[in-house]
């Protein structure tokens, strides 16, 4: 039976052992002075009294009311960086009061979205204005959302008997985007648009319609029919009509998030980085890209030509995890109605074999143009041990799907992606 009186009794504050030791010494010196007397007892009592006053006065040193600010020196105010980069952090502390503080320990914590914590500790010596600054850098950060927890300030007296702590709330969110590479050109993709590989794909990539989209500056060589006479008369400078361009074929990127499909976390990070690099490539060329991401929750972004649309997709890629349990065949059956016919469908997955061939065939039956980017992260020691035999095994799968008329790439390192898409590596 929990009664309030017993509850209050159990919540009484517990004093540290050092405080009881100090009280015992002061009491003993007081009794020694009262019952023994003399110069020795008086001197001992005065010394212990002064030490007790000094030690107890540290409780009002101002550490509990400390103020501070945190600055990120290598990023902007939004605190956005790519995976693999480090943070350079500066913490400035202001301690109110007048009691001298010899030094101060600072403990900062960085918390990831999944609950992982990284603790950073350092010390500083306050100046005569009771101010101090601490610099530290984090190790290379993984992709994800981070936030700073409470910053703990700690100091001790010169004897190390008592510790005084204070907390500074300097919470700040940090976004670590997937690592990306710059793709200059995707050779087979543009060949497909021209009808050199998939004749069913439209070739009206950049033809202009008759729909006027706006007005632009006159370019030498424009025909008289393109000149916008009303805008020219109003502004006094030559203006030309800007016509809408017919859209490129829509592209859907499927990120395989099946947990059992990936050998380790690095392989999934490679898949996410490949997807982010493709969206970065599409955003720079105004391509209509969409994303199908199936994990614990189903997420589908329709293909659109918008910078904000690409930003929303990248924010989604920041927090994705390999937590899915649906098979690729099941995913395609459930979402086949949402996918536009005739689109270019890119599968980023470590899976291969008969299951992947069935998915590629199913996409072809849905009048889509499939492409498989086979992510296969290899540790450096595995590459040295297996050598050319491993490379031939990897190329067998790419040759197999290309013999069926499908596009395919094998990506083992993110840095190889621009050369692979640019056509530097050929599969016979």
- Cα dist. 283→273, 291, 414 in Å? 15, 13, 19
Residue 168 pairs in a beta bridge with 151
Which helix (H) or strand (E) segment is 121 a member of?
strand 117-124
Cα separation of the two ends of the chain = 80
pLDDT at 239: 84
What digits encode the pLDDT tens for the residues 376-399? 876 544 444 444 445 555 568 888
What digits encode the pLDDT tens for the residues 41-63? 888 888 888 887 877 776 777 78
In three-state secondary structure terms, 38 is coil
Residues of the chain under the 70 pLDDT cut? 1-19, 58, 75-79, 193-214, 242-248, 378-395, 424-428
**Rounded-to-integer distance, Cα 37 and Cα 400, Å:** 101
- What does residue 305 show for φ and ψ, rounded to 5 degrees? -105, 85
**Rounded-to-integer distance, Cα 110 and Cα 139, Å:** 11
Name residue, tokens 């009664």. 3
Element counts in the chain: helices (H) and strands (E): 12, 18
> What are the sequence ranges of the domains in the chain?
61-177, 209-245, 251-379+389-422
Q: What residue spans of 11-131 are helical by DSSP H? A: 17-35, 39-57
The pTM of the full predicted model, rounded to 2 decimals, is 0.73
pLDDT at 210: 46
Give the CA dihedral 411, 412, 413, 415, nearest 10 degrees: -30
- CATH code of the domain made up of 61-177: 2.60.40.3880
CATH architecture of residue range(s) 251-379+389-422: 3-Layer(aba) Sandwich (3.40)
Which token pair is 280?
Answer: 């970065």
């Amino acid at each position: 039976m929990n009664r309030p009186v017993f509850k209050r009794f159990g919540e009484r504050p517990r004093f540290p052992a050092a405080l009881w030791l100090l009280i015992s010494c002061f009491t003993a010196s007081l009794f020694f002075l009262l019952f023994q007397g003399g110069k020795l007892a008086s001197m001992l009592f005065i010394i212990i009294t002064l030490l007790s006053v000094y030690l107890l006065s540290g409780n009002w040193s101002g550490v509990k009311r400390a103020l501070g600010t945190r600055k990120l020196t290598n990023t902007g105010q939004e605190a956005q960086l790519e995976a693999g980069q480090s943070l350079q952090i500066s913490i400035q502390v202001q301690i109110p009061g007048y009691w001298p503080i010899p030094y101060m320990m600072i403990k900062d914590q960085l918390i990831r979205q999944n609950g992982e914590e990284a603790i950073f500790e350092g010390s500083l010596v306050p100046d005569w204005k009771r101010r101090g600054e601490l610099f530290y850098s984090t190790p290379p950060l993984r992709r994800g959302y981070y936030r700073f927890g409470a910053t703990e300030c700690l100091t001790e007296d010169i004897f190390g008997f008592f510790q005084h702590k204070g907390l500074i709330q300097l919470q700040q969110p940090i976004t670590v985007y997937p690592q990306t590479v710059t793709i200059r050109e995707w050779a087979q993709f543009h060949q497909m648009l021209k009808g050199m590989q998939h004749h069913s794909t439209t070739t009206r990539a950049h033809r202009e319609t008759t729909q006027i989209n706006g007005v632009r500056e006159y370019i030498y060589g424009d025909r008289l029919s393109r000149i916008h006479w009303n805008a020219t008369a109003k502004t006094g400078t030559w203006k030309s009509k800007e016509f809408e361009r017919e859209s490129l074929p829509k592209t859907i990127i499927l990120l395989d998030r099946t947990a059992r499909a990936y050998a380790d976390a690095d392989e999934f990070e490679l898949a996410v980085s490949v997807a982010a690099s493709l969206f970065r490539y599409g955003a720079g060329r105004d391509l209509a890209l969409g994303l199908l991401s199936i994990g614990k929750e189903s997420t589908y972004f329709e293909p659109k030509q918008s910078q904000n649309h690409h930003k929303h997709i990248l924010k989604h890629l920041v927090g994705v995890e390999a937590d899915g349990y649906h098979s690729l065949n099941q995913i395609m059956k459930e979402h086949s109605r949402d996918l536009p016919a005739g689109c270019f469908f890119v599968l980023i997955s470590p899976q291969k074999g008969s299951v992947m061939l069935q998915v590629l065939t199913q996409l072809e039956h849905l009048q889509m143009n499939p492409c498989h980017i086979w992510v296969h992260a290899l540790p450096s020691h595995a590459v040295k041990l297996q050598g050319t035999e491993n490379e031939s095994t990897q190329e067998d799968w790419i040759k197999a799907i290309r013999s069926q008329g499908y596009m395919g790439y094998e990506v083992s390192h993110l840095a190889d992606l621009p050369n692979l898409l640019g056509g530097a590596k050929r599969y016979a």
